[in-house]
Amino acid sequence: MTNNFSKYQTIIDDFRGKVLSKDFEAEFSHVTKNIPKTERFLLKMELKRLANPCTRLIDLRGHVDGECRAFDHEGRTHYLDDIAIRVFEESFADYQGYTFGVYEAVMNTENNFRVIYQNEKNQIKTPNVTVKPAKVFEKSQYPAQLFSFGPYFNRSEERMNFAIALQVHFSDDKMVEGTCSDISVNGCKFRFNSVENIKIRQIITIRFSGLEGEFQFDKKEKFTYEVRNIQIIEGLQLVGVSRVYTSPEEKDGFKQFLKGYIQGNKRRYKINLDNTIKALQSRSFEQFALPKSNELPIFIEDVQGKLAPRFALTCHNNQNIFQYWQDEKRQSTLSYLVTQDRFLRIKKAAMLGKSVLVYSFIHVSQGKMYFYTADNVQLDEDADFMRQYLGFAASKESFAITQLNYLALNSEYADSPLTLSNTIAKKDEYLNIPASDDVKESLSRLTAIITATNITNKEIHAFYQALPFDNINTNKLKNFGHKRLVESVNVDDVGINYNNQRQEPRFVYKTAIVVDADGVISQGISQDFSTSGLKIALDKSSLLKRGDVVNITFPQLQKITSSFDLQSLPYEVMRVNTSKTIINLRVFVEKHQHIGRAFFKALIQKNREKLTPDEYAMLSPGLAKALRNIYSASLQTVALMIQTSGSRYKIEAVTTNNKNSRILSYCKQLSDRNHHYNLYPLLSNMQATSLMNTTLKKLQAGDRPVSDILYIAINPENEMVDKAVTTKLDEELQTDKLKKIFIKNALKRGEFFCIKVVVSRTDDPDMQYLNPELSYISSYAIHRGKQLEQEIWSVAGVVQVFDITQEAMMRFHLIDD
């Protein structure tokens, strides 16, 4: 018996939906008279099977090259894309019901990955047959929406979707009829069917003719409003206005009527949730992206005209940058990176849309660290010495290229209240606590943000290592060395986090410790402790890694207690810095109570007033939250959000506060959809996207990010996207000469970009931070709330996009023809 009816597909298509007709038997016998009797019987059974009613639900999410959405039909909810919906409706009409024929037609659409794979397999087996390439390989549009981080505009009152007729009266006695789209106690939004001559801040009067059956107006009563915003969408003019009161508000009967009317009808007409939904989407992406930042935001303080770094926002990904700029005493040397003179150069470069590149290395002598830095502006003054300096610097293992960008600082962004804070935040007031006076005092001295990004990789380092530096002028070299700090510069390391993950207070405490790691003994001192954790600094670099279990002995503390045995206490390694000397530990308990936990608990209880709280805890959450809000509202770096869709990944959201960045400007030009960006330049290279997907599947949230470099050529004159854009991975251009040829050809035809992409696996969302707005949305639109929650939990990774074209062009000019 065979189930392969492909050779009879024409007959099956002709008899779709005809099995139950009166003349089926006669027609079928006539058409199949030349088919063997056994096969004729099986074919008839197949036609009857396809006509049988089906109750299966169809979920194509992750199985087709298309965006699936809920498709409700006869009480069932399927998840189909546009092609599947069209096939469903056509097959349903043919079979006159939902049958197995409809089900199988939908499961075998042309863009189904299984069908595409089968077609490819068949094409390999029959190379002489011309087969049209599958749609997935012809893709030239990778549409994505842009989401900005803060400020999230707070509506002081709820708006109700409410369509009624109204009359708008202008000062010149002109009257235009319009339709209200939403209304609040102190404002409304209405639309005109044509574009009228109306301006922001213009005073108008409105007669709510559609409400005359609900409210007893005085004869021809009109109310004064001020125009606050205007939009024109597809020929319709949308105008937002706020009420202007000419009499004491408490005596305004219309206002009192609206309060009661909206409260009593908001479930009937539905609350306008657009502002809250947009804010929640941006907040959720912000919460995923910022803790995975690969740039170090440095806040510059102005004290009596002297500029110096004061705070640095750190996370797991950018901690290596912060630690690079520390001397042997762990004192910050960020003042070497951002000097007062260099700050002015960074600010000037920002006005020209450029960055400042700092080439640095560290010389170690007699246990002391000496920092050397030179930026591209300084090196441009002497082309011959530039090559020598870069070659000499790159000969050191500590060589680094740091890209510095300037961000304007606006302390008004320190607070990021919830939308509709007066309605939502009664039970979540802690989320809306404004910055304290102490925090505002600290912020008042801050003048700018400088972002530092380490753009060095093995290939770039190797390029500069090849530059000769024989007979380098040592006197010139000394000019780029920094004098050692006489006094320590106080630069506070402030963590980027949304949920304070410290479950107990930490206290600064230095005491000698001995570490035993499988017989390898190390000496050091503690830096801080809590009941369940410990941070230590070792005298020498170790081989410890996350997950190792070590035994800690406290010789000095043992001398002051006989109640506790403080020898060989097991701790688990939770975090190790890049130099392998700073170790974060957590108590390791197998069977019995941990003596160290009991000891430190007793120590805290008896000496709480004497112990010094961890400085980080003093900074967080007030100052840390304020700095984070300011940074996120000023953020210029582009990030792509990776979300799961069934068994595959998708990128349909871009985050940045700089929608006019060079790369995004071209992505917008290449898009065939309004208000969308086409990410073809970043995602079209199949080798790059495949590598990214494979990498993300292997990454854990705590792992180091993985980076790569893309070389992109864009010819804006070519209207065909796939012809206009060429994207190559760094490894595809295997030599510096090939890179130079690619750059020259790109500049000859249009634009060249060198993009560093950094892929990180995201942590789980902190729903406590997102729940107030999500719960509010769900209370009025439960399906929308569930959809938003699914979208939040679908975020799996983030790709930060750094434009390093300026550095690539500098290398390009150093390559000999």
Secondary structure of 25-55 as H, E, C letters:
HHHHHHHCCCCCHHHHHHHHHHHHHHCCECC
* SS3 at position 619: helix
| Better-scored residue on pLDDT, 145 or 609 | 145
448 falls in which pLDDT band (50, 70, 90)? very high
- pLDDT given at position 431: 60
Summary mean pLDDT of the chain = 86
- 355 and 445 co-located in one domain: yes
**Each residue of 786-811: pLDDT tens digit?**
999 999 999 999 999 999 999 999 99
Bridge partner list, 247: none
432 falls in which pLDDT band (50, 70, 90)? low
- 184 and 59 co-located in one domain: no
Pick the last residue of a domain from 590, 619, 648: 619
- 338 and 449 co-located in one domain: yes
- pLDDT given at position 82: 83
Q: What tokens were used for 148?
A: 């900005």
Q: Kindly report which listed range (31-35, 276-280, 523-527, 706-710) carries the lowest average pLDDT score.
A: 31-35
| Better-scored residue on pLDDT, 371 or 815 | 371
Q: Does residue 241 sit within a domain?
A: yes
**Each residue of 52-95: pLDDT tens digit?**
888 888 888 777 777 788 888 887 888 888 888 888 888 888 88
**For residue 450, is pLDDT > 90?**
yes
Would you report the helix, strand and coil content of the chain in percent, each value rounded to 5?
35, 30, 35
- pLDDT given at position 702: 84
- 754 and 719 co-located in one domain: yes
**For residue 161, is pLDDT > 90?**
no
- pLDDT given at position 159: 83
Do the beta carbons of residue 511 and residue 554 sit within 8 Å? yes
Q: Does residue 627 sit within a domain?
A: no
- 455 and 526 co-located in one domain: no
Q: Does residue 699 sit within a domain?
A: yes
- pLDDT given at position 133: 37
156 falls in which pLDDT band (50, 70, 90)? low
Pick the last residue of a domain from 270, 303, 324: 270
- pLDDT given at position 123: 57
- 519 and 587 co-located in one domain: yes
- pLDDT given at position 594: 85
Using CA atoms, how far apart are residues 383 and 57, in angstroms rounded to an integer? 69
**Each residue of 178-236: pLDDT tens digit?**
999 889 888 999 999 888 989 999 999 999 988 887 887 775 688 999 999 898 887 88
**For residue 138, is pLDDT > 60?**
no
126 falls in which pLDDT band (50, 70, 90)? very low
**Each residue of 632-658: pLDDT tens digit?**
999 999 999 999 988 789 999 999 999
**Each residue of 482-528: pLDDT tens digit?**
998 877 678 888 888 776 545 566 788 889 999 999 899 999 999 88
Tokens 């093995």 sit on residue: 458
**For residue 476, is pLDDT > 60?**
yes
- pLDDT given at position 46: 82
Q: Does residue 624 sit within a domain?
A: no
- pLDDT given at position 311: 94
**For residue 534, is pLDDT > 80?**
yes
Do the beta carbons of residue 648 and residue 62 sit within 8 Å? yes
- 376 and 249 co-located in one domain: no
Give first-to-last CA distance, the chain, whole Å. 71
Nearest to 482 by CA among 372, 390, 374, 393: 372
- 175 and 195 co-located in one domain: yes
- 610 and 671 co-located in one domain: no
- pLDDT given at position 378: 96
- pLDDT given at position 136: 38
- Quote the number of domains for the chain: 5
Using CA atoms, how far apart are residues 608 and 601, in angstroms rounded to an integer? 10
627 falls in which pLDDT band (50, 70, 90)? very high
Q: Residue 673, exposed/middle/buried by CB under 10 A (0-12, 13-18, 19+)?
A: exposed
725 falls in which pLDDT band (50, 70, 90)? very high
Q: Does residue 144 sit within a domain?
A: no
Mean pLDDT of the 754-762 span: 96
Is this model's pTM higher than 0.85 or not?
A: no
Greatest alpha-carbon span in the chain: 105
**For residue 618, is pLDDT > 70?**
no
Q: Does residue 630 sit within a domain?
A: no
- 13 and 63 co-located in one domain: yes
Mean pLDDT of the 312-317 span: 93
* Residue 218 CB coordination number (10 Å): 7
Q: Which domain holds residue 768?
A: 637-814
- pLDDT given at position 424: 58
